[in-house]
Amino acid sequence: MDHSFDKMIVGHYLNRMQAFTEPSRWPQINVRYTKLEDNLLDLKQWYEYQTEDESYRHYHIKYEYIDDKTVITDPVNQDTGESSCILQWSYSDGWWTGTVRDECIIRNNRVLSFIQFNGKEYRSLDTGYDVDTGDFVWGTEPGEGLFEFELVE
């Protein structure tokens, strides 16, 4: 089986089952990765009640292979033009797993991210902490679980 990063991540994912199970805790979210060209992906995320054109997150993500099981991604926010957190990904046991490569500070928030995908499932956790106080500011706190998406197309 081909475990190439772009082939396994491209697609439309939805956390419908998770959202239906516990709607007060998990909003229904769409995630779509599209390959724009070699080494460049488009990422959009939007709530189910919105359209894809109203996405709350829109990035172009450059990716580079370090070796056949390690990828570095460098996202640029398409709404602001700002660079975001560089992630380092590793492939093991059928899953690509990505975490923030170095410390990432955005708008005085230390950002932590954990993302996994295997070509059918996609899981993510994004969290921001105030740089000065260390207080939780946004996202899902570790221990509350991951967003769990399934490939829908």
pLDDT tens per residue across span 73-132 = 999 999 999 999 999 999 999 999 999 999 999 989 999 999 999 999 999 999 999 999
> What is the fold, at CATH topology level, of the domain defined by 5-151?
Lipocalin (2.40.128)
pLDDT attached to residue 2: 74
pTM of the model: 0.92
Average pLDDT of the residues of the chain: 95
- Residue 21: pLDDT band (50, 70, 90) is very high
Could you tell me if residue 19 is left (phi over 0), alpha (psi between -120 and 50 degrees) or otherwise beta? alpha
Question: Going along the chain, which residue ranges are E strands?
Answer: 11-14, 29-37, 40-47, 57-67, 70-77, 87-92, 95-100, 105-106, 109-117, 121-130, 136-139, 147-151
35 or 3: which carries more pLDDT confidence? 35
DSSP state at residue 53 = G
Buried b (16+ CB within 10 A) or exposed e, 64-89: eeeeeeebebbbeeeeeeeebbebeb
Helix (H, G, I), strand (E, B) or coil at 99: strand
Helix (H, G, I), strand (E, B) or coil at 16: helix
